[in-house]
Amino acid sequence: MNDLIERLRAVKWEVTDDCGRMPDDPTHKCVFVDMRPDDFRALLREAAAALEAAREDAKRLAFLASEPVIEGFVWVEKDIYDYACDAAWDSGRDEPNEADMLAGLRRMIDAALAAYRKGGSDNE
């Protein structure tokens, strides 16, 4: 995935002449990509497949957030409900909704990963 991201960022492109339309014209459509067409097509297909896999992972996370199977992690003081309340508060609400539960799960996972990277077992 990281390699794909770097390859996408490395693509050199520019707006080209589109039969007299100016580049700021919303109907302007021509872009020059400094790649062979087959290589560009393959890169776009690979990116589409990676996005599809990410969408499936997002569905998995949404399920975990809606059915709190995981309420907390070792080395993380807050649980999913605390993080969901934080997300609601950050959005100006007093009570978390489904989106906040998903945001809370993401925050809790991020906190667990950060603790693990710091050497989590030393934090006990």
Q: DSSP letter string over the chain?
A: -HHHHHHHHH--EEE--BTTB-TTSTT---EEESS-HHHHHHHHHHHHHHHHHHHHHHHHHHHHHHS-S----TT-SS-HHHHHHHHHHHTT-SS--HHHHHHHHHHHHHHHHHHHHTTGGGG-
The pLDDT value given to residue 18: 67
The pLDDT value given to residue 33: 83
- pTM attached to this predicted model: 0.62
Please report, for the chain, the start and end positions of each structural domain, with discontinuous segments joined by +.
1-57, 68-124
Which residues are bridge partners to 93 per DSSP?
none
The pLDDT value given to residue 114: 92
Question: Can you give the pLDDT of all 124 residues of the chain as single tens digits?
Answer: 789 999 999 988 887 766 677 667 777 777 778 889 899 999 999 999 999 999 998 888 888 777 767 788 888 999 989 999 999 999 999 999 989 998 998 999 999 999 988 886 544 4
The pLDDT value given to residue 94: 93
